[in-house]
């Protein structure tokens, strides 16, 4: 802990208020961050964490309130000014230019002219030092979520910040990498850098943070020392009630095989992608199979192969309910009873500027919503209203645009849309990424219910806690290969963490280096 | 006091429909100022420009005559625009359509077949589609931006028309004017009202507007195109074909523009000349946006645009203003429309203070 000398706070916020047309996002928030302090900001989605961070980083201007930086009152007009003060921020939704390389993206954020070659070397040094492996010459659009986040962190670290803001930073790291990041953060804090750490993972906050400020509904509901609290007490401060617990019954044996992947090898056209090597797996009716792994190890390629967005040459490599579908389009696979929840919600799982009713049509149009090539909007609207009610989607109604929903609510809507089609097979990628605890727990319970009703579910996630919570069996993807499958109750986070670096018994991947440092 | 733009929670439906009306009002107001600056009485200018053209039934018929190609082009373009397929080469597609249908008329000169005119219309549509398929192919095969390619093809089409009427297709008895022979009776669209020039193409245009409405608002294919235009990844995720959207958007736009070409050469012009279209293909883009990409809106916006064309002619005759005054009005209309469209997604707040 920081010694309580009469030090000036690095950052002091008094009465920050920001009102949006529909909602007051921040309502009189006070926050004090001392030099070298790791300060958690805790709260559900929509509690106002991101707004507060954007005020500090100069992305938005508060309607009211004061901001003091190292004792001086300042008004941060834009992120460039924030960076000049020494504030660095890693956004939850990344702010990278997809068509540029890593090093070009970093150069854009740094003041002055840069020699890209020497900057690339510096990036490699920082990435080496902090255990954040990334190739500076790669194009950002080809990077996975986890890799993009590493770029964001490195970009901030290169500017030697005095205050580093991290928004949900660990959701895409292995347990070992999280530990390494924590070492980095502690090292930074020891060097005097203050850290604002936004997370919904209470155990992480307990392990890492010195102080926590809890937000609910745009107001501060408490300040605590996480080491003196339990996850339950903090959760109560955050959501105002106890966390619901998932009841995970035993899987029923002998369900039929609904999804079979047989000897799937696929070379991706993307020069930076991961080739899939001899993937084999089966998912039976009434079970949830989880695929763990560090992002960038072939998850995207595997997902696209399963969904049909990337057509295969081998028909038999993927079978849905015994039908070879390797060459079918996504629509063809859907008509066999497969549903799919992608990792990106806006832009892939939902069209931002269409209404929820219109977004229902995207995949659920087979449910009686078409007649002679024309749309029956009444049916779609009823489906959307059902989905909003059943999955507790907070929105203005079926006529709201998808982009007006918060991440968690949109995810509930998309998951709901897919579940309500009564899929035989449901494939989900990162089902609760960046979703608040309440919504995440709701989604997990819905998945367990669906499993109990006999659906075969495949979850690809980078959140180990989640996989351990809901999956019956686990496997790990590393460098495009799958580990053996293991029953969840017979393994632990440590073992899976090691497998995630490509080291599993008698595996091919263990011969080479994996993407994990 | 500060003015600040704030994003609205939801786009304003009211502004969406009000915006074109505001744009027209601002265009009129600026037009008055413009007349004044040119030393004309604004009231006189307004009368000549906007009221004179419609003072008799001939004028009204002319209005519909000029609105016909605009409706055809604009509804075809709107199908593509909704899918973010930016075909801005309707002018060229109109010309190639006119050439294709015109070739048929010249080839079967004097034919009495009742199939000649329908054949010309089909040929016109195919010609326009052919011209539009080039940018479609370049976009889907090589990812070339269709805005550039379709625009460049306009100039190629113009030069092609020019070459044909100066060269191989020139009327040998035409005193060396750059134009073809006049089309014979069976190759001309029937006139709807004796004594006027408005012809049967108006019915085709109205049918196209109705079909366009059904396609855009009620058909699943129209929905798929909207998704493809707004979020390519979502469309791939759903299993819709993005390429099909590009092709359909370009071909519908090209086909309609081609028919618009026929409505001119087999209508008021009756032959192929160097001046088939006074920029209908370009004006149709403004029409499509003023009409909110919706067929009902396009119907009214076409009439307005036709009025601007006619007002320009009147202003030339009675006010001694250059014909390009109608282009100025077109430009102002688009300019004000884009300006007031900002208020669909934003609103202005008066701020008395920023910080306490």
Q: Domain boundaries in chain A?
A: 11-239, 247-337+423-517, 352-421
The answer, for B223 touching chain A at a CB cutoff of 8 Å, is yes
CATH fold, domain A247-337+423-517, is: Rossmann fold (3.40.50)
Q: Do B233 and A348 lie within an 8 Å CB cutoff?
A: yes
The answer, for A400 touching chain B at a CB cutoff of 8 Å, is yes
Residues counted in chain B: 356
Strand partners, B2: B351
Q: Do B237 and A349 lie within an 8 Å CB cutoff?
A: yes
Q: Which of B10, B218, B239 sits opposite A329 (nearest CB)?
A: B239
Domains A11-239 and A247-337+423-517 share a fold: yes
Answer yes or no: are the C-beta atoms of A195 and A166 closer than 8 Å. yes
Q: Region B176-180: what's the mean pLDDT?
A: 91
Within 13 Å, how many C-alpha atoms sit on residue A470's CB side?
A: 33
Between the alpha carbon of residue B207 and those of residues A31, B154, B212, B305, the distances in Å are: 64, 26, 8, 20
Residue range(s) defining the domain that contains residue B113: 66-318
**Chain A: nearest CA to B344, how far in angstroms?**
13
Nearest-angstrom CA–CA distance, B325 and B270: 27
A87-90 vs A72-74, strand pairing mode? unpaired
Nearest-angstrom CA–CA distance, A52 and A18: 9
Q: What angle do CA A321, A325, A329 make, to 5 degrees?
A: 125
Q: Region A417-427: what's the mean pLDDT?
A: 95
The answer, for B243 touching chain A at a CB cutoff of 8 Å, is no
**Tell me, what's the pLDDT at B132?**
97
Q: Do B356 and A65 lie within an 8 Å CB cutoff?
A: yes
Task: Name residues whose C-beta falls within 8 Å of residue B8's C-beta, 6 or more positions apart in sequence.
Answer: A21, B344, B345, B346, B347
Residues of A in contact with B237 (CB under 8 A): 307, 309, 330, 340, 342, 348-349, 362-363
What is the token pair recorded at A241? 């009630």
Give B231 or A418, the one with higher predicted confidence: A418
Residues of A in contact with B6 (CB under 8 A): 21
Q: Which of A348, A373, A374 sits opposite B237 (nearest CB)?
A: A348
Coil vs helix vs strand at A288:
strand
Q: Is residue B306 situated within a structural domain? A: yes
Q: Is residue B287 situated within a structural domain? A: yes
**Tell me, what's the pLDDT at B345?**
83
**Chain B: nearest CA to A31, how far in angstroms?**
18
The answer, for B351 touching chain A at a CB cutoff of 8 Å, is no
Q: How many domains does chain B have?
A: 1
Q: Region B2-31: what's the mean pLDDT?
A: 85
What region, left, alpha or beta, does residue A381 occupy, with left being phi > 0 and alpha being psi -120 to 50 degrees? Answer: alpha
Q: Is residue B166 situated within a structural domain? A: yes
* Domain A11-239, CATH: 3.40.50.300
Q: Which of B8, B220, B240 sits opposite A373 (nearest CB)?
A: B220
Task: Name residues whose C-beta falls within 8 Å of residue B116's C-beta, 6 or more positions apart in sequence.
Answer: B104, B105, B108, B186, B187
Q: Do A375 and B226 lie within an 8 Å CB cutoff?
A: no
Residues of A in contact with B143 (CB under 8 A): none
The answer, for A329 touching chain B at a CB cutoff of 8 Å, is yes
**Chain mean position to CA B303:** 11
Nearest-angstrom CA–CA distance, A255 and B79: 48
Between the alpha carbon of residue A504 and those of residues A215, A292, A488, the distances in Å are: 42, 13, 15
**pTM of the shown model:** 0.76
Nearest to A329 by CA among B76, B240, B283: B240
Q: Region A347-357: what's the mean pLDDT?
A: 92
**Tell me, what's the pLDDT at A247?**
59
Q: What is the mean pLDDT of chain A?
A: 85
A194-198 vs A38-42, strand pairing mode? parallel
The answer, for B39 touching chain A at a CB cutoff of 8 Å, is no
Q: Do A396 and B354 lie within an 8 Å CB cutoff?
A: no
Lowest mean pLDDT among A35-39, A146-150, A211-215, A501-505: A146-150
Answer yes or no: are the C-beta atoms of B220 and A373 closer than 8 Å. yes
Burial A292-321 (b: 16+ CB within 10 A, else e): bbbbbbbbbbbbbbbbbbbebeeeebbbbb
Coil vs helix vs strand at B30:
helix
Residue-wise pLDDT tens digits, A73-109: 998 888 888 988 999 888 766 778 888 999 998 888 7
Q: Is residue B43 situated within a structural domain? A: no
Q: Do B239 and A344 lie within an 8 Å CB cutoff?
A: no
Q: What is the mean pLDDT of chain B?
A: 92
Which CATH number covers residue B201? 1.10.3470
The answer, for A58 touching chain B at a CB cutoff of 8 Å, is no
Task: Name residues whose C-beta falls within 8 Å of residue A446's C-beta, 6 or more positions apart in sequence.
Answer: A391, A415, A416, A419
Nearest-angstrom CA–CA distance, A467 and A469: 5
Residue-wise pLDDT tens digits, B273-320: 999 999 999 999 999 999 989 999 999 999 999 999 999 899 888 888
Residue A511 reports pLDDT greater than 70: no
Q: Do B239 and A350 lie within an 8 Å CB cutoff?
A: no
The answer, for B239 touching chain A at a CB cutoff of 8 Å, is yes
Q: What angle do CA A312, A316, A322 make, to 5 degrees?
A: 125
Residue A2 reports pLDDT greater than 50: no
Positive or negative: CA dihedral A508, A511, A512, A515 = positive
The answer, for B221 touching chain A at a CB cutoff of 8 Å, is yes
Coil vs helix vs strand at A218:
coil
Answer yes or no: are the C-beta atoms of A350 and A338 closer than 8 Å. no
**Tell me, what's the pLDDT at A517?**
35
Which of A61, A339, A348 to mutate to probe the B interface, most B CBs <10 Å?
A348
Q: Do B240 and A331 lie within an 8 Å CB cutoff?
A: yes
């Amino acid at each position: 802990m920081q010694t309580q000398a009469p030090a000036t706070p690095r950052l002091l916020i008094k009465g920050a208020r920001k009102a949006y047309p529909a909602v007051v996002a921040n309502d009189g928030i006070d926050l004090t961050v001392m030099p070298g302090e790791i300060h958690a900001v805790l709260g559900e989605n929509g509690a106002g964490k991101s707004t507060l961070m954007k005020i500090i980083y100069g992305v938005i201007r508060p309607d009211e309130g004061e901001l003091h930086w190292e004792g001086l009152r300042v008004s941060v007009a834009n992120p460039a000014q924030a960076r000049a003060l020494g504030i660095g921020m890693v956004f939850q939704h990344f702010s990278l230019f997809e068509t540029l390389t890593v090093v070009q993206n970093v150069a854009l954020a740094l003041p002055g002219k840069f020699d890209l070659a020497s900057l690339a070397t510096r990036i490699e040094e920082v990435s080496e030092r902090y255990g954040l492996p990334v190739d500076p010459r790669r194009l950002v659009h080809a990077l996975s979520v986890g890799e993009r986040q590493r770029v964001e962190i490195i970009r901030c670290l290169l500017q030697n910040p005095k205050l580093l803001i991290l928004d949900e930073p660990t959701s895409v790291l292995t347990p070992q990498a999280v530990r390494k990041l924590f070492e980095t953060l502690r090292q930074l804090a020891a060097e005097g850098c203050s850290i604002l750490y936004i997370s919904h993972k209470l155990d992480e906050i307990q392990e890492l943070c010195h102080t926590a400020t809890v937000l609910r509904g745009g107001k501060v509901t408490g300040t605590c020392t996480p080491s003196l609290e339990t996850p339950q007490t903090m959760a109560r401060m955050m959501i105002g009630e106890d966390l619901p617990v998932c009841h995970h019954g035993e899987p029923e044996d002998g369900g039929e095989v609904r999804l079979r992947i047989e000897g799937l090898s696929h070379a991706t056209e993307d020069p930076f992608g991961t080739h899939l090597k001899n993937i084999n797996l089966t998912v039976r009716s009434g079970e949830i199979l989880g695929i763990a792994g560090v992002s960038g190890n072939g998850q995207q390629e595997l997902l696209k192969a399963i969904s049909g967005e990337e057509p295969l040459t081998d028909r038999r490599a993927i079978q849905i309910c015994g039908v070879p579908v390797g060459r079918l389009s996504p629509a063809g696979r859907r008509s066999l009873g497969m549903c799919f929840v992608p990792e990106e919600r806006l832009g892939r799982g939902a069209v931002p500027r269409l209404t929820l009713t219109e977004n229902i049509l995207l995949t659920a149009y087979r449910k009686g919503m078409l007649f002679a090539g024309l749309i029956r909007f009444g049916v779609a609207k009823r489906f959307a209203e059902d989905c909003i009610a059943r999955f507790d989607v907070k929105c203005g109604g079926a006529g709201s645009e998808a982009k007006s929903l918060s991440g968690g609510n949109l995810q509930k809507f998309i998951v709901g849309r897919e579940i309500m089609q009564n899929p035989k097979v449901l494939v989900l990628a990162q089902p609760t990424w960046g979703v608040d605890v309440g919504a995440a727990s709701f989604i997990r319970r819905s998945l367990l219910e669906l499993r109990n009703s006999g659906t075969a579910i495949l979850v690809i996630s980078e959140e180990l806690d989640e996989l351990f919570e809901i999956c019956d069996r686990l496997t790990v993807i590393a460098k495009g290969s799958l580990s053996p499958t293991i029953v969840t109750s017979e393994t632990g986070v440590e073992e899976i963490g090691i497998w995630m670096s490509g080291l599993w018994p008698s595996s091919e991947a263990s011969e080479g280096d994996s993407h994990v440092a | 006091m500060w003015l600040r733009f704030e994003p609205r929670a939801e786009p304003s439906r009211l502004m969406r429909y009000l915006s074109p009306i505001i744009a027209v009002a601002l265009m009129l107001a600026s037009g008055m100022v413009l007349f004044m600056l040119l030393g004309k009485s604004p009231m006189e200018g307004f009368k000549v420009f906007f009221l004179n053209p419609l003072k008799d039934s001939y004028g009204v018929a002319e209005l519909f005559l000029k609105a016909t190609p605009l409706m055809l082009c604009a509804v075809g373009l709107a199908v593509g625009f909704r899918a973010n397929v930016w075909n801005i080469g309707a002018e060229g597609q109109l010309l190639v359509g006119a050439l294709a249908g015109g070739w048929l008329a010249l080839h079967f000169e004097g034919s009495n077949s009742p199939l000649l005119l329908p054949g010309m219309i089909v040929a016109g549509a195919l010609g326009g589609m052919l011209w539009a398929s080039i940018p479609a192919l370049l976009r889907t095969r090589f990812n070339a931006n269709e805005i550039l390619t379709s625009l460049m093809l306009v100039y190629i089409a113009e030069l092609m028309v020019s070459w044909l009427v100066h060269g191989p297709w020139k009327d040998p008895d035409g005193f060396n004017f750059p134009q073809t022979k006049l089309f014979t009776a069976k190759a001309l669209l029937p006139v709807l009202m004796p004594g006027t020039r408005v012809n049967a193409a108006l019915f085709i245009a109205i049918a196209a507007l109705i079909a366009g409405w059904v396609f855009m608002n009620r058909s699943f294919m129209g929905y798929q195109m909207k998704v493809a235009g707004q979020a390519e990844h979502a469309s791939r995720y759903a299993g819709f074909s993005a390429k099909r959207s590009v092709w359909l958007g370009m071909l519908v736009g090209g086909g309609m523009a081609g028919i618009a070409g026929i409505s001119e050469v087999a209508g008021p012009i009756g032959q192929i000349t160097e001046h088939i279209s006074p920029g209908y293909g370009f004006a149709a883009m403004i029409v499509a946006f003023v009409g909110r990409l919706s067929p009902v809106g396009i119907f009214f916006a076409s009439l307005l645009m036709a009025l601007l064309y006619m007002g320009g002619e009147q202003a030339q005759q009675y006010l001694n203003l250059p014909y390009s005054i109608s282009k100025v009005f077109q430009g102002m209309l688009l300019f004000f429309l884009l300006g007031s469209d900002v208020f669909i997604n934003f609103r202005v707040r008066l701020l008395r203070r920023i910080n306490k």
